[in-house]
Copies of this chain bind each other. A is one copy, B any other.
Amino acid sequence: SMNPDLASERQTASFSVEKLTALLDGGTEQMRIRRAVVEAIESDPVFSRENQYFQTQNERYEAAVRKAVHLQKKMHEMGWTENGPEYKYIYRALSGDVAFLLHRVFMRSISVLGSDKQIAKWIPLATQHKLIGSYAQTELGHGTYLQGLETTAVFDTATQEFILNTPKISAMKWWPGDMGRSATHTVVFAQLYVHGKCYGIHPFIVQIRSLQDHSLCPGITAGDIGPKMNFEHIDNGYLLLKNVRIPRENMLSKFCEVRPDGTYVRQGSQKINYFTMTTVRISLISDEVLTPLMKACTIAIRYSVVRRQSKLKPGEQEAKILDYQTQQEKLLPQLAAAYAFHFINDYLQELFNRGYREIQRKNFDMLPELHALSSGFKAVITQHCTAGVEICLRACGGHGYSLLSGLPSLYTKILASCIYEGENTILLLQTARFLIKCFMAASAGQPVPPSVTYLAAVKHGKCPAKNKLDFLSPDIYTEAYQHVAVRLTSSTAAKLQDLIESGVKKHDAWNQCTVQLVQAAKAHCHYIAVKNFAETVEKLETKAGIQKIMKHLCDLFALHGIFSNTGAFLHDGYTSAAQMDMVTASYLDLLAVIRKDAVPLVDAFDFTDKSLNSALGSYDGQVYQRLYEWAQKSPTNQMSPAYERYLKPLLHNTLSKL
């Protein structure tokens, strides 16, 4: 039976939930396929995540391997293929709780970096799981700065082998997934030496465990790096190499080759490889970042309409906590952000598809822009969504803190996205470097890529808004965002210039501007996200109330950004204090408007109870019953030796006296 407090929220939806779900899925056919995959996965008990919150790291790992192996069988049964339309929904349906993800990276790296001969040899083996691959790049002492990797691969002309070594402890490979316990092979990145000369970092296929009995190969020390904040199901590993010899053919040689005599040869353009790296940053946004935020919003918003606490009006029933303005102010901007980033993700995907087509035609012009966008948006979206999930968790009070709410795991997992695939601050500085370069070019009248042409058009006007309703005009707020992005970029460019002109060395000057450069990069991405949301809304069909509610969310996303960062807009007087008060008024009004549709808006994300795996977020809203039933199954309700060992002797001291 559905909790009546939740049921009543659904009766008043201003739009068709089913239509909005289809819009998010990219069409009704996509929606149908996704639901079929979810149904097939969730009805299979092997994929159950029900006991997940009670399991140890060892149990999680074992379950993830079991699922990965079972998935092969399942795909065969269902007729799903890696190139089929179902594939992209599988990982989402599993909530990522499966092993051998790095096996896929192993395969991708061979496909991209290997010669045709290498691809022909290794890809079929990997596809059929005749080996388990990993990807060993990061070292204890090196993550971001790849050139600093210390593992060595020395070519021995006599035996036609590379000899791989970990020269010191900081050179030990550290973090690679699937490597701690599962992998038999890995791609090792190492400094290549031939005849005593270093040629920089290159990739080598190295076998690390026996295919016979899984024992470590000679010269290999490897294991699991131990407990982490999340990712208990993944065996992130370490690897130490001592005079490990591999044949010359194991250096991935699409772009660089060492000939038998030791001659080093470069061939072809690596730019396509570079492009692959940038697309990975975009591809993770949907599954690893947006889905967790959407789940967190679903859980927190459903809970906030069944949780009643304190009274809004004296003498009345206790109020739903979502009726408090402060609760709306916590949750609804996260909901708006989830939609905003869903649409910017569509935009980026489309842009990258276009880029890919251009690159295949040997046109690399789009690369710098794509790199800047993928870096900036990876950083901005992971940061924003991580903070959003944390807000959802805290907004659920004590029950949010229980693992059974599902929120702690969502948070501890999404947090990692701020660190992997490029640490966020480093990435924002990549974007900033592009912005500064383009700003200088634009100022000098040179052409710049489409996403930054606005930098050329520096205007010194004022925001034209006259009353609070004007701030519901996308032109008004988009222009304000644009103005801030231009101001931050131009003022930082000026500071940089001034420092250099005053005699500060270029790299020192850059370092002294980095805090402000990060601000500029964020402002650029925020502007593009707002603009894209507004343009998307413009194009939506007006039927079924979809456009109207999306317009509200777009307004909220934009005004929340201004309200949370008023200084950026007030600084040079573009927005006046009186206008800022209008922003605040419109923003607070919007909260009350969107609150009415809050539950339908999260229902549209279409998560099943199994995929939420949350006692607070279920579709029927029976929160307290579910918490109680679930808690009773916890291993902490088994007998503990603590009683016999410690409590009994303590209490028995003087039992008779009570």
Contacts and interface: CB of A to CB of B under 8 A. Distances in A.
Interface stretch (A6-14, A262-270, A311-319): A311-319
Contact of A61 (B227, B418, B513, B640): B640
B624 A125 contact: no
Nearest to A310: B145
Given A214-B648, A224-B634, A401-B229, A627 B140 contact: yes
A488 to B, nearest CB: 12
Given A313-B507, A571-B580, A132 B647 contact: yes
A441 interface: no
A182 B646 CA distance: 10
A493 to B, nearest CB: 15
Chain A interface mostly helix, strand, loop or mixed?
A: helix
A403 B229 contact: yes
B514 A229 contact: no
Interface string A418-429: 111001010001
A450 interface: no
Interface string A192-219: 0000000000000000000110100000
A325 interface: yes
A327 to B, nearest CB: 8
Contacts of A141: 307-308, 624
Interface stretch (A52-60, A251-259, A272-280, A353-361): A52-60
A67 to B, nearest CB: 9
A223 B568 contact: no
Interface residues of A, number: 133
Contacts of A129: 650-651, 653
A657 interface: yes
Contacts of A229: 401-403, 408, 412
A572 B125 CA distance: 68
A366 B324 CA distance: 30
A144 interface: yes
Contacts of A158: none
Interface string A131-148: 110000010111111001
Interface string A608-636: 00000000000000001101101111111
A144 B514 contact: no
Interface stretch (A81-89, A168-176, A339-347, A458-466): A168-176
Contacts of A408: 228-229, 412
A187 interface: no
A573 interface: yes
A514 B592 CA distance: 13
A312 B401 contact: no
A567 B640 CA distance: 55
A444 interface: no
A446 interface: no
A225 interface: yes
A569 B570 CA distance: 10
A184 B647 CA distance: 10
A309 B148 contact: yes
A646 B66 contact: yes
A93 to B, nearest CB: 20
Given A401-B419, A634-B227, A429 B170 contact: no
Most buried by B among A56, A57, A570, A636: A636
22 contacts: A62-B640, A62-B642, A62-B645, A125-B657, A128-B654, A130-B658, A140-B624, A141-B308, A144-B310, A144-B397, A145-B310, A214-B648, A224-B634, A225-B634, A227-B403, A229-B401, A326-B425, A326-B514, A401-B415, A401-B416, A567-B568, A573-B577
Q: Which 8 A-B pairs have the closest CB atoms?
A: A566-B567, A226-B634, A567-B567, A224-B636, A229-B408, A227-B403, A145-B310, A226-B631
